[in-house]
Structure 1
């Protein structure tokens, strides 16, 4: 089995684009919800949702960019599905 540094980056850009676009956006939305939920404790009540809203592109665009550096498209989809599962599990646990 080759290590990730030795694997060649595959040209399956359709699946990588799907992973970055759809799954990356849903992950960014979950992270924004976490920021908003945690921000209610430390920020003003009207400022926390705005801070969460404006954090979405700052999280989503690097995630979208990094999807193309994962060697295979199915690995990107699998990694981003796992990240989404963890993020949304945290959101639902914190909401109560």
Structure 2
């Protein structure tokens, strides 16, 4: 009986780079905004924007890195697009 090998990671660099660079940045900005919105009640008002600003770099770097481990470029774009829509929906829901 043959053992199936796992699916190979496709080499469509342009779409994965777009997903990690552009859509990953959109997700990171949304999550940074969520950190600001959620931390305003718990930390000093002058510290919350700084915390959100530094969150962007800590979120964007792994997202950009992880985009290359998604098997196909269109899947990376779809996953990151859906995540970005959900993150911005959460921002609009929290802001009212």
Equivalent residue of 1:58, what SS? helix
Between structure 1 and structure 2, the one with the greater Rg is 2
Query: How does the TM-score come out when normalised to structure 1?
Result: 0.94
- Residue segments in structure 2 that go unaligned for 5+ positions in a row: none
After TM superposition, the runs of 4+ consecutive aligned structure 1 residues lying more than 2 A away are none
User: Partners of 1:47 and 1:91 in 2: how far apart?
Assistant: 19
* Count of equivalent residues: 92
- What CA distance in whole angstroms lies between the structure 2 residues aligned with 1:50 and 1:95? 19
Which blocks of at least 5 consecutive residues in structure 1 are unaligned? none
* TM-score of the superposed pair, with normalisation by structure 2: 0.94
Give deviations 1:40-83, integer Å, cap 9, x for gaps. 01100000011000110100000000000000000000000010
Deviation per CA, 1:19-58, whole angstroms, max 9, x where unpaired? 0000000000000000000010110000001100011010
Counterpart in the other structure of 1:24: 24
